[in-house]
Structure 1
Amino acid sequence: MGAQSYESKSNALPAAGKADDAERLWTALKRDFEIFLRVENRMSSNSVEAYMHDVSLLADYAIARQIAPTQVTTRDIETLLRELGEDDALGPRSQARLLSGVRKFFHYLTFIDAVGDDPTSLIDPPKLGQHLPEVLSVEEVNAMEAAIDLSSPLGHRNLAIVEVLFSCGLRVSELCALRMSRIFWQEGFIRVIGKGNKERLVPIGDVALHDIQNYLTQRRGWRKVPANEDTLFVSQQGKPISRVMVFYIVRDLVAKAGIRKPVSPHTLRHSFATELVRGGADLRVVQAMLGHESIVTTEMYTHLSREHLREALMKYHPRGERK
């Protein structure tokens, strides 16, 4: 879909000036922007939802001040970011995320010639300190898995979920979308559909495959699950497991294991990558397995690895720490 078709749409939009006109213009351009993200950029539903949330924050701010999207200035955006920061509604990282979404929206508006200049071009993102994600040790993951009651109807399923998250480094959305037909049992790989519907092959270890097989054996006794159901992780009612349910499963096991740190399913992905880097895996290999677009994203795990080495020096070397 080219710029011309979008331009013809924008020319038919109401003129800016009054509050109701501004709101209609925001609604129309947000609608077209969402279509653009889904069709042209082929973004996942989760990514589209995140971008639209960012743009909606700006839209609400602007509509309240009778500002149309074609009238937004650099100062307007800076004021919004400052006010949200002062109210503690958004921390620096969330402000950076908001700016990223708004920036993409105005890139789109310049693409369709709805605006001449991009008001975000002169705005620097908020400065962020080095943020290292929380990770779990192998012992902590083992404790989570040991807390699972394998005699319960969902025990083997939940064990397989935790093991696949930790040993394959999948995003939650990728885990929920796994299909039986995408598991290559003999080769030891799974085909994963990641962000932007991009496919990648991820190696899967024998432990995870064994846990999946045990789960599938248990699943055959679930009457409401068709024998030919291709979705890997389902409920006993035969419905695909949701991201929220995976979150609750992980949170429950963390509590039962006595782990006192903030943990989400994504923590297992961070832990997967960290263990690979600590073990000496090449960053490009880790990048491919995680499905990162840029190796810069993967490089944060080298910081975690260096932190681990520093801790080892301080703890075990006689000259590591001053007495």
Structure 2
Amino acid sequence: MEILIDHFMHFLSVEKGLAANTLESYQRDLFAYTDFLKSEGVTDIAASNRSHIISYLVTLQKKGRATATLSRNLASIRAFYQFLVRDRHLEHDPSIHLETPKIEKRLPKVLSLEEVEKLLEGPDLGQPSGVRDKAMLELLYATGIRVSELVQLNMGDINLEMGFLKCMGKGSKERMIPLGKVAISVIRQYIETARPRLLKVGGESALFVNHLGKRMTRQGFWKIIKKYALQSGIMAEITPHTLRHSFATHLLENGADLRSVQEMLGHADISTTQIYTHVTRSRIKDVYAKTHPRA
């Protein structure tokens, strides 16, 4: 079964072009599933059936796993079986017609404009690291890119003269995103004054570097945004994704069309982007309730 999983991983990587984080997720889910099959005495994937899949999902549920986790595991298992049938390792797919657990859609947490301003004003521009932090935060809010995309940016991916950046998203899909005047100004300041002082040696292609002069990591940026949220007195729970959510919501609140926001966010399906329309409606209701004299 491990060999078949390796073949599947190769297929997802080479033919589908999935990102490393997505591949790790698939592999983790499938190893957990095949470990379960072995515990049930099944050592050949061809001997597995619909009941085994259901039993595994029930086991995860009893362990307190979230509905989203069950849904993701089933998606991984289903994709694996489809691959095995396609490559004729199996004749039948036991996952066919299994119903995906319904996930309750939670509205993403969004900062108000005032909270965004507080967060963006947090870094100390007298320090190279502060200029870098300011540039990273401004870039996230200006473009709505994912944190994984932010830390993967190279010097050649940004064009300040033309005012856009090139971003490689999920599934190795490239997209161009415009930059605002404020972001351009701060990023130029970072590149010209702060980045050279943070670099220890030459040859680093990363746009954003840490105190060691190496590429900034997702974990490193997580600590940065937590620091400025605490420093700014923002009570809302903030994650690196919060600025992405705020970017999309604020655009829609100010009249941007859904398709344009979808393209900038890099969503393959517009239904993913539509969650932000629910956020804007919810915020409108809150504003109405707080401001209308007869609300």
- Structure 1 alignment gaps of length 5 or more: 1-25
- 2:188 alignment counterpart: 213
Mapped partners of 1:218, 1:285: distance in 2? 33
Question: How many pairs are equivalent?
Answer: 293
Shift of the alpha carbon at 1:29?
0.7
Q: Which aligned pairs between 1:19-30 and structure 2 lie closer than 5 A? A: 26-30=1-5
| Residue matched to 1:87 | 63
Contact 2:74 2:100 in 1 (8 A): yes
Q: Structure 2 counterpart of 1:193, which letter?
A: M
Matched, 1:285 2:260: yes
Residue 201 of structure 1 aligns to a residue whose secondary structure is strand
> Do the aligned partners of 2:85 and 2:91 also contact (CA within 8 Å) in 1?
yes
Question: Offset of 1:151 from its aligned partner?
Answer: 2.6
Counterpart for residue 82 of structure 2? 107
Separation in structure 2 between the aligned mates of residue 80 and residue 319 of structure 1, nearest angstrom:
54
**Residues 164-243 of structure 1 correspond to what in structure 2 (within 5 A)?**
164-216=139-191, 217-222=193-198, 224-226=200-202, 229-243=204-218
> Cα offset for 1:140?
1.3
SS of 1:287's equivalent? helix
- Cα distance in structure 2, aligned partners of 1:114 and 1:261: 50
3-state SS, counterpart of residue 197 of structure 2? coil
Q: Which residue of 1 aligns with 2:98?
A: 123
Structure 1 stretches of 4+ with a deviation exceeding 4 A read none
Moved more, 252-261 or 170-179: 252-261
Q: Give the distance between the partners of 2:204 and 2:119, measured in 1 at CA.
A: 28
Q: For 2:161 and 2:61, how far apart are their aligned partners in 1? A: 52
For residue 319 of structure 1, what is the amino acid of its counterpart? R
- The unaligned stretches of length 5 or more in structure 2 are none
The Cα of 1:223 is off from its aligned counterpart by 5.3
1:264 to 223, 234, 239: 239
Q: How far 1:157 sits from its partner (Å)?
A: 0.5
Cα deviation, residue 74, structure 1: 1.5
TM-score, with structure 2 as normaliser: 0.94
Select which of 43, 47, 72 maps to 1:71.
Answer: 47
CA distance in 2, matches of 1:60, 1:253: 42
Aligned counterpart, 2:130: 155
SS in 2 for 1:41: coil
Tell me how large the CA RMSD over aligned residues is. Answer: 1.5
Normalising to structure 1: TM-score of the pair? 0.87
Q: For the residues of structure 1 that align with 2:153 and 2:236, how far apart are their CA atoms?
A: 28
Q: SS of 1:245's equivalent?
A: helix
Query: Is 1:314 matched with 2:289?
Result: yes
Q: Which residue of 2 is the match for residue 3 of structure 1?
A: none
